[in-house]
């Protein structure tokens, strides 16, 4: 499969997962406002990442994916702070989205590049 198409497909899947999380957060009891805001930001960032990929803006896409990964981690932590429905309903979808983001970062070599850059920056 064409790499460009595969990346687009994966970004679309991530975007769909995050849109579903936002929709679920609107109806699930006990979702903190901070978690809702994080989910909205995740959804917006995922749309931005897909748009950057379509415009072949690879450097900006790398930054957006790193931001997505950090936001997904934050959303998972926020979901864990809540008992009941918020954690039970939202956490599985957030875990899947977070793993998909990580897998895409690995596929694009973002983790290796950042680790190599950190080694070069170390005294």
Tens of pLDDT, residue by residue, the chain (123 residues): 588 899 999 999 999 999 999 999 999 888 889 999 999 999 999 999 999 999 999 889 999 999 999 999 999 999 888 667 778 888 899 999 999 999 998 888 876 444 444 444 444
Quickly list H helices, 1-123.
Answer: 3-27, 33-54, 58-80, 85, 91-107, 110-121
In the chain, DSSP assigns E strands to: none
- The confidence score (pLDDT) of residue 116 equals 43
- The confidence score (pLDDT) of residue 108 equals 85
Per the CB < 8 A criterion, the answer to whether 46 and 14 are in contact is: yes
Q: How many CB atoms lie within 10 A of CB 57?
A: 14
Q: Is 110 helix (H, G, I), strand (E, B) or coil?
A: helix
Distance CA 14, CA 65 (A): 11
For domain 3-121, say whether CATH 1.20.120 is its number.
Answer: yes
Which position has the token pair 């080694």?
Answer: 119
Residue boundaries of the structural domains of the chain: 3-121
């Amino acid at each position: 499969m064409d790499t460009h198409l595969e990346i687009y497909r994966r970004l679309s899947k991530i975007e769909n997962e995050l849109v579903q999380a936002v929709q679920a957060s609107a109806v699930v009891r006990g979702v903190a406002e901070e978690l809702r805001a994080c989910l909205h930001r995740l959804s917006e960032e995922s749309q931005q990442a897909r748009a950057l990929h379509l415009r072949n803006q690879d450097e900006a896409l790398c930054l957006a994916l790193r931001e997505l990964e950090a936001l997904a981690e934050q959303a998972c932590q926020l979901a864990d702070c809540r008992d009941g429905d918020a954690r039970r309903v939202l956490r599985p979808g957030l875990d899947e989205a977070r793993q998909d983001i990580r897998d895409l970062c690995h596929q694009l070599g973002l983790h290796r590049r950042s680790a190599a850059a950190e080694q070069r920056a170390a005294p």
